Homo-oligomer: A and B are copies of this chain.
Amino acid sequence: MRFMEERILKDGQVRPGDILKVDSFLNHQLDVAFLDEAGKAFYEHFEGHGINKILTVEASGIALSCMAAQYFRVPILFAKKAKSRNLDNDLYTAVARSYTYGIDNTLTVSKRFLTSDDHVLILDDFLANGNAVSGLLDLCAQAGASVAGIAIAIEKGYQGGGDALRFKGYDVFSLAIIDEMNESGIRFR
């Protein structure tokens, strides 16, 4: 069993409403030594792919990206969730529906930091239906940046977002893929 699967079984909690609570180590309290292990695993999968930037979304993708970036030795760019409708002309924007909160987020990145010179690793903590990743892909397309792959801590495989991206040809690398989940247990792929 892989280290992310072990940690989910040890510290994760399945809650009503299709919630997997991993806030003791991944997205509220952060176990940095554990996240470092995740960052290293991403590096081992994607090293040699010419990645020069990691693209993630605030907030919970940032910590994992920091750990990975230390191995890749590249900068991180985190997309912000727009707080106003008065956005600068110097931003790329894309809409991503949040599965957790049931709202649409407008993701923004500065045009100065994402360009056609970039070969990007997209990285996030969760992949469910794939809306956040699709928003990040949209930003890359607008900038003319190429995408080396997609690195995910926990994929909810039964929601299909990861497989849809794989079908389109993306290298989606998830440290744990959940194919079934309920309050009596979790089945990994």
Contact = CB atoms under 8 A, between A and B. Distances in A.
In the complex this chain forms, how many copies of it are found?
A: 2
A interface, over-half SS = mixed
A113 B24 contact: yes
Interface residues of A, number: 33
A108 B185 CA distance: 29
A15 to B, nearest CB: 11
18 contacts: A24-B112, A28-B78, A28-B80, A28-B109, A29-B76, A29-B113, A30-B62, A30-B65, A31-B75, A32-B66, A32-B70, A32-B75, A33-B73, A58-B58, A59-B59, A63-B63, A63-B66, A83-B101
Given A59-B59, A83-B101, 6 more contacts: A30-B62, A30-B69, A30-B77, A58-B58, A62-B63, A63-B66
